[in-house]
Amino acid sequence: MSTISRAEVARVAALARIELRPEELDRFAGELDVIVDAIAKVSEVATADVPATSHPLPLTNVFRDDVPEPALPVADVMAGAPSAEDGRFAVPQILGEE
């Protein structure tokens, strides 16, 4: 039994300003039915004693602590630059300004 009609798909497509061919309306109605059925099955399983989760496994932060470190010496940073001037990176002029 279809729960999503062809007309409903056409209406939502029109709201989203998406043009669909007639065969696409039929296909999407069927695909949306499958999605609605899958959600219904999950809803049957979800009971009050099953807590809601956003992920099947518990997640923990895997990032290291953000600890401030001293900055690199300017000479070390500039050593890798193709061109430097007065302790700054020198880049080609792009805007035609002085």
Using CB atoms within 10 Å of the CB of residue 9, give its burial: 0 to 12 exposed, 13 to 18 middle, 19+ buried: buried
User: Domains (ranges, CATH) in the chain?
Assistant: 6-45 (1.10.20)
What parts of the chain have a pLDDT lower than 50?
A: none
pLDDT of the residue at 26: 93
pLDDT of the residue at 41: 87
pLDDT of the residue at 19: 95
Closest C-alpha among 14, 6, 12, 15 to residue 33 = 6
20 CA to centre of own chain: 25
Task: Locate 78 and state its tokens.
Answer: 């500039």
| This prediction's pTM | 0.46
* Phi, psi dihedral angles at 70 (to 5 degrees): -65, 150
88 DSSP β-pair partners: 85
pLDDT of the residue at 58: 80
pLDDT of the residue at 51: 75
